[in-house]
């Protein structure tokens, strides 16, 4: 039975999609079966794995709104054991079309029930907004990873996201847990970054991954080639950091 993990942040540009794709790739490298769910209408995870969102005829929208079975939507990728439930431009319309639907907050969870036994991990990449798509990504999740950019307002943003998770648990009868905060875009030469990292670890002891994702050119370049960092530059500092993160995740499950 898959562990369903949503990579959550309501701020763009913090490494959310990169974390979803790269972690998925390295979990596969560790012998795990992985499904990535692109729940963002921007479809960056879809294009970052090598698909053109504009040419995909059936994607997550058709599952959420039209009830299509996930077997009609899930696609294999260039990496064996890494599958994708893609997004497309139509998904933006789901935020309106889902409003009158029954169980609108649980549609994604119901879709994934059909395939959970096939995978070890399901990673969900929601939009950087708190809309019905993000709510679906939360109610479908067992645990949450929060990428935290090392900047001045990082602690405030992290606290708000944790409040959002508590709100969803209280009102939608879920039991979502925080797996960990992940420090991203870290520059060890920056005094601010070092200070923020130290403060995050102090405020949330036991809930911050040891792995720290550095600012890295290869991580920024890989999506434009439709490749994961494992395929594009496996010896880069960014790749090594995500390998460490994947090892931590597997280690947490064994603990």
The Cα 145–Cα 182 span in angstroms is 7
Q: Which pLDDT value is given to residue 12? A: 80
Q: Report yes or no: 70 and 114 within 8 Å, Cβ to Cβ.
A: yes
Which residues pair with residue 178 across a beta bridge? Answer: 144
SS3 164: helix
Looking at the predicted structure, is the pLDDT value of residue 254 above 80? no
Is residue 10 very low, low, confident or very high in pLDDT (cuts 50, 70, 90)?
A: confident
Q: How far is CA 179 from CA 133, 143, 209, in A?
A: 21, 5, 9
Report the CATH number that the domain containing residue 84 is assigned in CATH: 3.40.50.300
CA distances from residue 241 to 3, 173, 189, 213 in whole angstroms, order as listed:
21, 35, 17, 6
Mean pLDDT to the nearest integer, 108-122 = 98
Average pLDDT in the chain: 95
What's 180's DSSP letter? E
Local confidence band at 37 (pLDDT 50, 70, 90 cut-offs): very high
| Domain total of the chain | 1
pLDDT tens column, 158-203:
999 999 999 999 999 999 999 999 999 999 999 999 999 999 999 9
Judged by DSSP in three states, 89 sits in helix
pLDDT tier, 11 (very low <50, low <70, confident <90, very high otherwise): confident
Q: Out of 71-85, 146-160, 215-229, which region has the weakest mean confidence (pLDDT)? A: 146-160
| Domain extent for 171 | 3-254
- Band (pLDDT 50/70/90 cuts) for residue 14 is confident
Q: pTM of whole model > 0.85?
A: yes
Average pLDDT over residues 59-67: 96
């Amino acid at each position: 039975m898959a562990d369903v993990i949503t990579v959550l942040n309501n701020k763009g540009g913090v490494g959310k999609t990169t974390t979803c794709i790269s972690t998925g790739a390295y979990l596969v490298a560790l012998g795990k079966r992985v499904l990535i769910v692109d729940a963002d209408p921007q479809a960056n995870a879809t294009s970052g794995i090598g698909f053109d969102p504009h040419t995909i005829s059936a994607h997550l929208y058709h599952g959420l709104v039209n009830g299509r079975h996930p077997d009609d939507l899930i696609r294999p990728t260039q990496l064996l054991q890494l599958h994708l439930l893609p997004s497309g431009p139509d998904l933006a319309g789901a935020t309106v079309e889902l409003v009158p639907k029954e169980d609108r907050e649980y549609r994604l969870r119901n879709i994934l029930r059909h395939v959970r036994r096939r995978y070890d991990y399901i990673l969900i990449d929601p939009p950087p907004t708190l809309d019905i798509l993000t709510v679906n990504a939360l109610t479908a999740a067992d645990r949450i990873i929060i990428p935290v950019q090392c900047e001045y307002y990082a602690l405030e943003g992290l606290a708000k996201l944790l409040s959002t998770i508590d709100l969803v648990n209280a009102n939608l009868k879920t039991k979502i847990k925080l797996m960990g905060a992940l420090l991203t875009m870290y520059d060890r030469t920056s005094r601010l970054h070092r200070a923020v990292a130290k403060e995050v670890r102090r405020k949330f002891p036991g809930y911050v991954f040891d792995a720290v994702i550095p600012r890295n050119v290869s991580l920024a370049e890989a999506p434009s080639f439709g490749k994961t960092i494992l395929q594009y530059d496996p010896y880069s500092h960014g790749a090594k950091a995500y390998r460490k993160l994947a090892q931590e995740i597997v280690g947490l499950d064994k603990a």
